Amino acid sequence: MTGLLDTLPPELESRVRDAAPGIELAASPMLATLSDRREFAKGWIFERKLDGIRVLAVRENGRTTIRSRSGRRIDATYPEIVEALDAQDTADFTVDGEIVAYAHGRTDFSRLQQRMGLTRPRDVAASDVAVRYYVFDVLRVDGKDVRRLPLRTRKSLLRRSLTFTDPLRFSAHRNEGGAELLADACARGWEGLIAKRADSTYQPRRSGDWLKLKCAHGQEFVVGGFTEPTGSREGIGALLLGYYEDGRLRYAGKVGTGFDRRTLRALREQLDDLQQPRSPFTDRVVERTAHWARPQLVAQIAFSEWTRDGMLRHPRFQGLRADKDPTDVVREHT
């Protein structure tokens, strides 16, 4: 074994295999499980939970591409990220991370959304939304699949594989954490923490080896319709939200706050194109002015809690997510 992997101890060398094409590895990212756990023994590391979009980057055969979690190619939207990866000395890698935008010193999904829909070079160049790509894991390097190496080893390998200058950032971690570290993260206005087993392998599924520790409730929901606006409001009154359970779209309530006027108008245009005559929800929805839509849009929603009857309390719209497949949206349980 040569190159970046030649310093592996003998007991880990057997875990490294010849890699499948980078795009294949990037198709199934490892996902974290929501948890209310707050006490952790040694053997866990803690990373900042970022308020952005999950992105896997692949460089091989002289080309670089970046993909959303759903597999959609987003090179045109974030050309500065592609250029920074193209400039790396390491010519063959697949890495995992999160693209974010900042507002008032914090990662801000609403600000990132102003950039997410842009694909024309002149529109991207004119945007004042600067982005950063925080990279936290490596799946493939120099033609070798390293997913079976321990996380701590992969992070060390990642740090040596790329040069981290803007807009690329290495996602740092703490070796100890729990309730106090989470409280500090929340006081700083962070989304929360991701707790990871330091010896865990990279698994192409949702795993309890990675845990989401959130400062506040929030997740994505599928948009299944909307209500008419009242008074001077334009566009829509509220979005009708749901999540999938056993292949059925369950109703979770409606959200009518968190919109500006431009967003209300843009949502109405999108939903008018998706209208259908029947409700997509398996539950009965009692809304006098409801319009139904094909469940193709995914919205990020913050809320205070779930009610006993399974509805969202005090929901607030944060933006649409183009990086999530609607059929993957389920209710997150702790």
Pairing, β 290-303 against β 316-320 = antiparallel
Residue 28 corresponds to which amino acid?
Answer: S
What is the separation, in whole angstroms, between the first and last Cα of the chain? 42
CA 164, CA 134: separation in Å to the nearest integer? 9
Residue 160 corresponds to which amino acid?
Answer: R
Per the CB < 8 A criterion, the answer to whether 207 and 200 are in contact is: yes
φ, ψ dihedrals at 182, nearest 5°: -65, -40
φ, ψ dihedrals at 124, nearest 5°: -65, -45
Cα–Cα nearest to 321, from 139, 116, 95, 48: 116
Active-site entry in 49, 155, 196, 254: 49
Task: From residue 99, give the alpha-carbon distance in Å to each of 81, 82, 134, 172, 284.
Answer: 9, 12, 6, 15, 38
Respond yes or no: is residue 49 known to be catalytic.
Answer: yes
Per the CB < 8 A criterion, the answer to whether 103 and 74 are in contact is: no
CA 331, CA 21: separation in Å to the nearest integer? 33
Per the CB < 8 A criterion, the answer to whether 301 and 220 are in contact is: yes
CA 55, CA 319: separation in Å to the nearest integer? 18
Per the CB < 8 A criterion, the answer to whether 145 and 18 are in contact is: yes
Cα–Cα nearest to 282, from 251, 240, 243, 253: 251
Tell me the longest C-alpha to C-alpha distance in the chain: 71
| The token pair that represents 144 in the structure block | 């070798």
In the block, tokens 């990866």 appear at: 85
Catalytic residues: 49
